[in-house]
Structure 1
């Protein structure tokens, strides 16, 4: 998400393939071997801030969603296939799903019992699922997807617009429009096909592989081949002007702009190209197979979201907001925190990208911005000392000022301590070593000390974990 404002982001069948070698879903039993001691998979992965998000027992590797949406009735339907690996033998397992009516469930083609427990969908297959086996789950469901209110009061999930809708997922909203393992620690590839009334466009993550007419409707098939956390998945349906090009490095670029935002977005396609190329030079090779943006008309949303490959903007973005959300493609999207408490690894890094951009484009130096934050004279500096950026006190605080502004200050103090050469080596190594994976704060500190050859414990104790405003800037 962005600090200016926050950046976060059926009638039918959903088929889900889950692999049996990961915590949560396991392969459907074809023999008794490997099922000894089978137990129910857990509801939640034990995240300190969101204990009920995600599910134990499986690790999804691929979702295939086939959705059909009618804006006039706000009805969604779809089919999805998800592959995963299981870490234990399971007698049952959970999927996260908020609202919607579940009509039928199967596991490997055999009927499975389904039970709703709030936002948990508990599936009990006909036989226990042995560790280490791939299995396929089909969920048939229908209804009007929900808009979810976050702990901080913002809206996500499925949100209607004046000409369609958008699915936004940070931190919990993806479960409003598809069942899955809704936690950033479980990343997967996605294929999303969305069928909408003719004349509308459906935009999603990755590359548009196919567009076909189906009677009075049009189907858009999107493929996102690199691993993606569920909170970064999106579908935006509406009237869009589409701009396609490639960056100078021949990276495909897709920018969709709502006509109501066209006047303020005339430079957005060129800016996406410029920012993507600048950040590639600064942080290392762009981590995905395409870039772009979605500029919608939803002015009451009041945040942007770093949805993978195409950041979502509720209205025409300024240059700094583009810099912030595109920087998340490296910090947050490719390298994703294991748990929500490490949100500063997303937002502090994307905020510092803004500082570096300003420094490199004839604005204030990063050192001047740091001092303006410390002195409280920068417009974004309010509230940055409320809590340590690496220790948000509650789920409602993960998008607050310390995570953004003070998180960026931590990085500037690191840069001062190790020098520019080591600092930028740290950033590039971070995104290279953890490309498409999950990582945590402990690993970032260890990497910083390894590359710099310095003991940085005091620096991080004061600026990252310390309470209140440090005495010296």
Structure 2
């Protein structure tokens, strides 16, 4: 059994969705040696044997004088033959520590010269043992679904999500399977009861993902070029999934503009792989997330990568905050449009916690980290999203949308750098944004605001004057901040330019001020006691994902030290005790969660479910059913909670025989 941890933050796709990756340094060179420009790949998938057999013609251009070239390739694949452009055999050296293949050249390749290498390779792809991202299944040939994700390095490659290329692919599978790829051109039956699917993506991009399986005839809507591929197991959800995709895709198109391709393939991924993945014309979502009906935010983030990742990409991994962050923020923008301002504000609070959880490195120097590490993921997604959120505050909604469209139009089918995003932002807004980008891209930390003020009554019944200052702890901070003055009558809003550690303000109101709030709508990333709790819990979650329960408990206790009534921290502690089968301590913690501050709301429903499970495994069925009934009565179906409770009312929870 896999123990499912309910999220503090809604899980979303970055490059691909991941959890619990190690924090080892990334071994790929920061300065690229070569630019791969195109592939011609022919591959056979044998799900019964979990085997991939393939050939790949790889065309590249040297960016410096080369005597050797290095390709990234999944450790489960062995090169059986490698030749250069004139047919001479080359002898590759496999480096399993970083999933690469080093190839000494028969003759040097001069800077600017182009050539083609021909690979023949094969191997077994099953599970995550050979994955280039530790513990994450990115490439597997299996029944009923095979995934060959670009990030799984199932073909020789370089420059993860920075090296744009074209690709022609021919994929052969058993005749009862369908194949989804970028730029489909057709398929044909073969004499050996197999089918060959062909794909051709002619624009520089990332057409490196293939998903094959026993998918039903794709579901599509009238007038909508969206195709939903699911297995028989998820058949009942296909129509709803199509309608959700159509709504989200329409919003993204109206916000960011039409894509170069008008086709969108939404496809089911295996439950034990990543929760989401994207490629040109492809959005892959875990079948379990589809079945639980909690894929809305995950799907919107994945669709957003068609613009922020596919149409424009980071020039280097130091620029990954642009596409990861904007895809995350596009998810929140859709949430605001579909669910309202309150849902949006709650999500911003969660994203702020993620932005601060690992804020020890500037965004523009993260390229040295493994892109699957918690720090890289948290910073590029969450802090990246907050950078765009704060730009929206500085610019205003209309100018912000023009800025986004400007980036997409000027750098379509190209990589974009952080400095280029700044230039577009300044050109569209007519603002001087050097201090903003210096603070949020090249610096770390966030301000901790405090205010002090005095109120004076004005003569002749003219009201009141409030004189004070906004104080914060970052000497170089400079940014406009909203001030809200709640009075006996009308609430007043002021925009105060904060610069340095103390910024003066003076506000006149007719009614007597009762409360003054700094940045009440959370437009600025800042530190607060509430966020300190969420940050500690988030760090604890990452440690749980890595298997370090002791360190996770320390982080959760830090959260309780800040807020003794934190329902979230108590709930997370209960999860660990439950995993350790310390049922009494787990029950105590879940009850503490129910008696706590009730933040976030989903803690209530899942605490009742976990208490029910504890009663089931300790032979107290009546008490278990009562907890499941209380869970249903909350009417909170976060991550399928109500569905889970109803199922457990019918069939008792059984503890697993072994732990995974």
TM range (shorter): 0.7 to 0.9
1:85 is the counterpart of 2:61: yes
Once the two structures are superposed, the pairs formed by residues 48-447 of structure 1 within 5 Å of their partners are 50-52=26-28, 56-99=32-75, 100-118=77-95, 119-145=99-125, 147=128, 154-170=135-151, 173-174=152-153, 177-229=154-206, 233-243=208-218, 245=220, 248=223, 252-288=225-261, 290-296=263-269, 298-315=270-287, 316=290, 318-361=295-338, 363-365=339-341, 368=342, 371-372=345-346, 376=349, 378=350, 382-388=353-359, 390=363, 392=366, 394-395=369-370, 396-398=373-375, 400-447=377-424
CA contact (8 A) 2:37 2:165 kept: yes
Using the alignment, how far apart are the partners of 2:31 and 2:319 within structure 1?
Answer: 19
1:124-155 C-alpha deviation (Å, 9 max, x unpaired): 44444445444332122222136357798551
CA positional deviation for 1:85: 2.6
Q: Quick one: structure 1 residues 394 and 125, their matched pair in 2 at CA, closer, same or farther if it must change by over 3 Å?
A: closer
Q: In the alignment, what sits opposite 1:42?
A: none
CA positional deviation for 1:412: 1.8
CA positional deviation for 1:426: 0.5
1:419-453 C-alpha deviation (Å, 9 max, x unpaired): 12211111001011111111122221221112111
CA positional deviation for 1:165: 1.9
1:250-300 C-alpha deviation (Å, 9 max, x unpaired): 7x433311222222332222333332232111012213353221113x223
Using the alignment, how far apart are the partners of 1:101 and 1:128 within structure 2?
Answer: 25
CA contact (8 A) 1:292 1:310 kept: yes
1:74-119 C-alpha deviation (Å, 9 max, x unpaired): 1111222233333344433222223322222211242222121303
- How many residues are aligned here? 419
Using the alignment, how far apart are the partners of 1:90 and 1:456 within structure 2?
Answer: 40
TM-score under structure 2 length normalisation:
0.58
CA contact (8 A) 1:207 1:290 kept: no
Using the alignment, how far apart are the partners of 1:75 and 1:160 within structure 2?
Answer: 6
Q: In the alignment, what sits opposite 1:43?
A: none
Using the alignment, how far apart are the partners of 2:221 and 2:166 within structure 1?
Answer: 23
Aligned-residue CA RMSD (Å): 3.0
1:371-407 C-alpha deviation (Å, 9 max, x unpaired): 4356x4x4x5543312347254842135544432332
**Segment of structure 1 superposing worse, 145-154 or 111-120:** 145-154
Q: Quick one: structure 1 residues 159 and 145, their matched pair in 2 at CA, closer, same or farther if it must change by over 3 Å?
A: closer
CA contact (8 A) 1:185 1:338 kept: yes
Once the two structures are superposed, the pairs formed by residues 13-24 of structure 1 within 5 Å of their partners are none
Q: Quick one: structure 1 residues 468 and 55, their matched pair in 2 at CA, closer, same or farther if it must change by over 3 Å?
A: closer
Using the alignment, how far apart are the partners of 2:369 and 2:300 within structure 1?
Answer: 28
Using the alignment, how far apart are the partners of 2:72 and 2:113 within structure 1?
Answer: 21
1:157-183 C-alpha deviation (Å, 9 max, x unpaired): 31355424212244xx22xx2112243
Using the alignment, how far apart are the partners of 1:66 and 1:331 within structure 2?
Answer: 29
Q: Quick one: structure 1 residues 470 and 219, their matched pair in 2 at CA, closer, same or farther if it must change by over 3 Å?
A: same
CA contact (8 A) 2:228 2:238 kept: no
Which structure has more RCO (C-alpha within 8 Å, separation ≥ 6)?
1
Secondary structure, counterpart of 1:155 in structure 2: coil
CA positional deviation for 1:360: 2.2
CA contact (8 A) 2:67 2:105 kept: yes
From the two aligned structures, give the one with the greater strand fraction.
Answer: 1
Using the alignment, how far apart are the partners of 2:430 and 2:25 within structure 1?
Answer: 33
CA contact (8 A) 1:283 1:427 kept: yes
Secondary structure, counterpart of 1:344 in structure 2: helix
Secondary structure, counterpart of 1:273 in structure 2: helix
Structure 2: give runs of 5+ residues left out of the alignment: 1-8, 17-23, 450-523, 525-660
Secondary structure, counterpart of 1:351 in structure 2: helix
Q: Quick one: structure 1 residues 117 and 77, their matched pair in 2 at CA, closer, same or farther if it must change by over 3 Å?
A: closer
TM-score under structure 1 length normalisation:
0.79
Q: Quick one: structure 1 residues 282 and 105, their matched pair in 2 at CA, closer, same or farther if it must change by over 3 Å?
A: same
Q: Quick one: structure 1 residues 88 and 267, their matched pair in 2 at CA, closer, same or farther if it must change by over 3 Å?
A: same
Q: In the alignment, what sits opposite 1:455?
A: 432
CA contact (8 A) 2:71 2:100 kept: yes
Pair member with larger Rg: 2
